[in-house]
Amino acid sequence: MDIGSLITRNGRFRADHVAVDFEGVRITHAEFDLQVNQLANALLRAGLGKGDKLATVLSNCMELLTLYWACAKTGIVIVPLSPLLLPAGLAGLINDSDSVMVFTAPAYAQNVDACRDELKQVKPDGFVMVGADHAGYQSYGDFIAGAAGTPPPDAGITGEDMYNIFYSSGTTGTPKGIVHTHFIRAMYGSLFANAWRMSPESIVLHSGAIIFNGAFLTLLPAFYLGCTFIMHKAFDAGEYIRTIAREKVTHVVLVPSQVVAVLNHPEYSPEKLQSLEMLQSVGAPLHLEVKRQIARDLPGRYYELYGLTEGFFTILDKVDAPRKLASVGCEPPLTQVRIVREDGTDCDAREVGEIVGRGPCVMPGYYKRPDLTEAAIKDGWLYSGDMGYMDEDGFVYLADRKKDMIISGGVNVYPRDIEEVIAAHEAVQGVA
């Protein structure tokens, strides 16, 4: 099982359907498959192969999206890094991941250059520049020049083979390389396509950074089904609204701050978002007052996902949202979620404890950190570090991070509860 086969299939059976729309440039699935093949063959020509690690320091661009799928076809492991990292942080993660090649852009070259001498595993010709010529780098154009657009040789990829390493320091400050396999990413495609009620004719818009795992909640289902994936270079609330209205977008995922920015934008009106079949919030709790506005303005469209890059998740479905608006949903098929006490026993209904879960999307572990893996996954259950409770119907409600709990007068108090009270005040626009 390799997810790169999705691009091959779309290139054959969805050939003339628009695959990607980036900054107004549209390419079909057949054209995208050819571009992915060309980059895949260029990577192989450069000496990379199955299991090798490739780091990116890029914001949203066609080259980054193409790299994701070229690595999928060749078995190369993609390591997307935040362009906001400073030189010391970049060096630490590039070295920790054992990356042998780095793709970046002119805006981030200064930070990459500042740590180049520390990157012992990256050869001098292993630095590729996207978007311009730059001293000390191969240009992306030169790198792919002459590479064939035919499918790369079969790499013998299995579902257990590593596809990506996503770094997250979480709340501990210790960089942790979260490993996802081809099987896990295939599950993202199939499970979420079903959960979001997507079809091959769905139109997905994403303007958040695709270097973060949240992007894969719609990116993978879109390519699993052969949909159209519209990608913005960066988030702009006005352009976001205009794109939904113009392109008849059906599915979007936003973080809470983006949801608020859209709803408060001068160009916003519910009529402009009528094509939406899903407006989903992820990444952090969305305040109840905002959820209530969505329920009024865009009824029957709100979804919420709670989960960890490391694994399990809960989904608040649009059908359940009206009666469980304060909840983050329930466990989807093939996933199990529990609320446990300190001793590992199950909490009663509405008793606050730690949220734990297991399912097909749980990581095999942190890269080269068996100690952290052992602490996070116990008897197959991933411990989230988040506190919450489950109601009598099995729906999960968040309290806060375990370490953020405040004890006041012998009572457990959670910052999120305080934020909800503040957010409900008519004079308050946002709470952070």
pLDDT for residue 176: 94
Q: 259 near 85, Cβ under 8 Å?
A: no
| Cα separation, 240 vs 230, whole angstroms | 11
Find tokens 């996207």 and name the residue: 130
Find tokens 């499918």 and name the residue: 151
| Cα separation, 18 vs 204, whole angstroms | 11
Query: Torsions phi, psi of 162, nearest 5?
Result: -70, 135
CA distances from 411 to 345, 408, 414 (A): 21, 5, 10
pLDDT for residue 428: 65
Q: 318 near 329, Cβ under 8 Å?
A: no
pLDDT digit string, tens, across residues 206-243: 999 999 999 999 999 999 999 999 999 999 999 999 99
Residue 337: pLDDT over 70: yes
For range 342-366, the mean pLDDT? 97
Find tokens 């959820």 and name the residue: 291
Residues 6+ apart with CB under 8 A from 208: 214, 215, 235, 253, 254, 255, 258
pLDDT digit string, tens, across residues 167-213: 986 455 668 999 999 999 999 999 999 999 999 999 999 999 999 99
3-state secondary structure of 73: helix
Residue 417: pLDDT over 50: no
CA nearest 83: which of 111, 102, 64, 61?
111
Q: 204 near 65, Cβ under 8 Å?
A: no
pLDDT for residue 411: 35
Cβ-in-10-Å burial (0-12, 13-18, 19+) of 298 comes to middle
pLDDT for residue 415: 57
DSSP 43: H
Q: 93 near 55, Cβ under 8 Å?
A: yes
pLDDT for residue 292: 97
Torsion of CA 33, 36, 41, 43, to 10 degrees: -170
Helices (H), 162-287: 182-195, 216-225, 237-247, 256-263
pLDDT for residue 175: 80
Q: Which residue has the higher pLDDT, 249 or 1?
A: 249
Cβ-in-10-Å burial (0-12, 13-18, 19+) of 387 comes to buried
- 346 pLDDT band, cuts 50/70/90, is very high
Q: Spell out the domains of the chain, with CATH numbers in brackets.
A: 21-179 (3.40.50.12780), 235-423 (3.40.50.12780)
For range 355-380, the mean pLDDT? 97
pLDDT digit string, tens, across residues 43-77: 999 999 999 999 999 999 999 999 999 999 999 99
pTM of the predicted protein model: 0.91
CA distances from 50 to 38, 70, 121, 157, 329 (A): 17, 11, 16, 8, 38
Tell me whether strands 25-28 and 18-22 are parallel, antiparallel or unpaired.
antiparallel
